């Protein structure tokens, strides 16, 4: 520290300020990647929980609907009341005694979207995935999966779209 005149005030030199800034920059360079990795892990865990929830509820739907999965009315069939043929009603009614299975379709934690893209037959390919979206749902197999770019993967290399 440098003393200026007889006033008793003290000030930091430019060199001292530069050293403090360098120390702060090094600490930030160490801390930011750790927070970023933690955020990705939290999103991956949330994704896996959402997948498990929806897949469990799809199996409950199938068990109550003579072995049939929801069709193109997937969102309504999962979030509203239904009869054993998959017809839906937004309100409870004796003619629609089943469901709802979900209060809403969960958001994909990576995209923030809960939109569902439908696959109409087994083995249908989506092509290159260039944007993060919500989910894919195959109406033939009942497969519910994330709809993310093919660059999103776990540490072991497993693509998140294949979870």
| Mean pLDDT for the chain overall | 87
Mean pLDDT of 97-112: 96
The domain in which residue 62 lies consists of 14-162
Per the rule left: phi > 0, alpha: psi between -120 and 50, beta: everything else, 119 is beta
Q: Give residue 125's pLDDT.
A: 66
| Total tally of structural domains belonging to the chain | 1
Return all residues near 148 (Cβ < 8 A) that are at least 6 apart.
108, 110, 111, 129, 132, 133, 160, 161
Residue 106 lies in a domain: yes
Q: Does residue 86 register a pLDDT over 60?
A: yes
Evaluate whether residue 4 is within a structural domain.
no
Angle, CA 39 vertex, CA 38 and CA 42 arms, to 5°: 85
Consecutive H or E run containing 81: strand 81-82
Question: Would you state the pLDDT for residue 120?
Answer: 85
Do 114 and 137 contact (CB within 8 A), yes or no? no
Dump pLDDT digits (tens) for 38-82.
778 889 999 999 999 999 999 999 999 999 999 999 999 999 999
Specify if 139 maps to a domain.
Answer: yes
Is the pLDDT assigned to residue 95 strictly greater than 90? yes
State both tokens at 57. Answer: 């509820």
User: pLDDT of 23-37, one tens digit each?
Assistant: 998 888 777 766 656
Is 5 part of a structural domain of the chain?
no
Residue 2: pLDDT above 70?
Answer: no
Q: Which of 58, 84, 83 is nearest to 139 (CA)?
A: 58
Residue 154, pLDDT score: 79
Domain annotation covers residue 2: no
Q: How far apart are CA 20 and CA 100, in angstroms?
A: 59
Report pLDDT for 4: 56
Residue 6 lies in a domain: no
Whether residue 94 lies inside any domain: the answer is yes
Question: Is residue 112 over pLDDT 80?
Answer: yes
pLDDT of residue 5: 57
pLDDT of amino acid 25: 86
Q: Is residue 85 part of a domain?
A: yes
- Does the pTM surpass 0.85? The reply is no
Task: Quote the pLDDT of residue 65.
Answer: 96
DSSP category for residue 69:
P
Residue 126 has pLDDT above 80, yes or no: no
**pLDDT of 13 above 90:** no
């Amino acid at each position: 520290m440098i003393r200026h005149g007889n006033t008793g005030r003290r000030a930091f030199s430019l060199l001292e300020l530069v050293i403090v800034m360098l120390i702060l920059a090094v600490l930030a360079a160490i801390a930011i990647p750790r927070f970023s990795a933690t955020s990705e892990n939290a999103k991956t865990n949330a994704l896996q929980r959402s997948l498990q929830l929806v897949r469990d509820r799809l199996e409950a739907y199938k068990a109550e609907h003579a072995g049939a999965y929801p069709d193109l009315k997937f969102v309504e069939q999962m979030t509203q009341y239904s009869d054993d043929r998959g017809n839906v009603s937004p309100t409870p009614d004796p003619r629609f005694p089943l469901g709802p299975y979900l209060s809403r379709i969960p958001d994909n934690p990576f995209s923030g979207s809960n939109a569902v893209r439908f696959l109409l037959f087994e083995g249908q390919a989506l092509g290159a995935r260039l944007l993060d979206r919500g989910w894919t749902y195959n109406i033939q197999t009942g497969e519910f999966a994330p709809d993310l770019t093919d660059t999103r993967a776990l540490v072991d290399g497993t693509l998140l779209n294949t979870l």
